């Protein structure tokens, strides 16, 4: 889709219309506006809406300035949904290839931000740290679970190949997370090693 056709999706106009409350109520200013992105800034808070150039994926982020990759003090739509316990009509990733789909996303995000995003809009640092910490804990838990699954596959393969020393080594590393079957396998593997 060429830029001329892309303009027909009216991304900029729809964002400006539905996010005007940021300017009127919270004194944000538009610091950039284009076919693929509209950026707002007020005091120490930035708010960006994206319509990805190639994928047509829609995205939203609000965070404490300065905006850069290392700054983890930001919130996206999923974070607001999880924190506030709300379900939206928006499924991720959300691709918008028509004016109607652009409107659906922008209107929904604007309403969520108006109704549930006060702390993020005013730049409540404690709130941003709370969300950042929560995301870090969730990520750590996901990584731990992925590692346990990987270790179980290795242990299962070693068990099937009668490599009991490997079974003991793997299960010993994750002993605190073993279920009853895994504990029994560890016990049997140790006995078989002792038996020679």
Q: Is residue 128 part of a domain?
A: no
Report the predicted TM-score, pTM, of the whole model to 2 decimal places. 0.76
Residues 161, 71 share a domain = no
Residues 93, 25 share a domain = yes
Domain end marker among 72, 93, 123: 123
Q: Is residue 191 part of a domain?
A: yes
Domain end marker among 123, 157, 178: 123
Domain end marker among 89, 123, 157: 123
**What long-range pairs does 13-21 form, CB within 8 A, spacing at least 24?**
14/99, 14/102, 14/103, 14/106, 14/107, 15/49, 15/106, 18/106, 18/107, 18/110, 19/47, 19/49, 19/106, 19/110, 19/113, 21/110, 21/114
Domain span holding position 71? 3-123
CB 128 within 8 A of CB 61: no
Residues 168, 75 share a domain = no
In total, how many domains does the chain have? 2
Q: Is residue 14 part of a domain?
A: yes
Residues 167, 75 share a domain = no
The CA-atom distances, in angstroms, between 156 and each of 3, 82, 149, 153, 181 are 54, 35, 10, 5, 11
Q: What is the pLDDT along the chain (196 residues), one digit of tens a residue?
A: 444 578 999 999 999 999 999 999 999 999 999 999 999 999 899 999 999 999 999 999 999 999 888 888 999 999 999 988 888 767 766 889 999 999 999 999 999 999 999 999 999 999 999 999 999 998 899 999 999 999 999 999 999 999 999 999 999 999 999 999 999 999 999 998 888 7
Q: Is residue 131 part of a domain?
A: no
Residues 118, 146 share a domain = no
Q: Is residue 21 part of a domain?
A: yes
Q: Is residue 134 part of a domain?
A: no
Q: Is residue 129 part of a domain?
A: no
Residues 167, 72 share a domain = no
Residues 24, 60 share a domain = yes
Residues 70, 37 share a domain = yes
């Amino acid at each position: 889709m060429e830029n001329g056709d892309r303009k027909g999706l009216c991304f900029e106009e729809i964002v400006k219309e539905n996010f005007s409350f940021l300017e009127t109520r919270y004194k944000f200013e538009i610091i950039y506006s284009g076919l693929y992105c509209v950026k707002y800034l007020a005091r120490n808070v930035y708010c960006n809406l994206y319509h990805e150039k190639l994928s047509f994926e829609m995205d939203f982020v609000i965070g404490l300035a300065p905006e850069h990759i290392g700054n983890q003090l930001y919130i996206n739509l999923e974070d607001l949904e999880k924190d506030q316990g709300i379900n939206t009509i928006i499924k991720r990733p959300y691709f918008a290839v028509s004016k109607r789909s652009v409107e659906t996303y922008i209107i929904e995000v604007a309403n969520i931000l108006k109704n549930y995003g006060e702390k993020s809009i005013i730049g409540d640092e404690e709130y941003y740290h709370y969300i950042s910490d929560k995301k870090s804990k969730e990520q750590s838990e996901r990584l731990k679970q992925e590692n346990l699954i990987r270790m179980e596959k290795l242990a299962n393969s070693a068990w099937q190949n009668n490599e009991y020393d490997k079974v003991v080594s793997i299960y010993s590393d994750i002993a605190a997370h073993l279920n009853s079957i895994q504990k029994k396998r560890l016990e049997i593997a140790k006995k078989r090693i002792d038996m020679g």
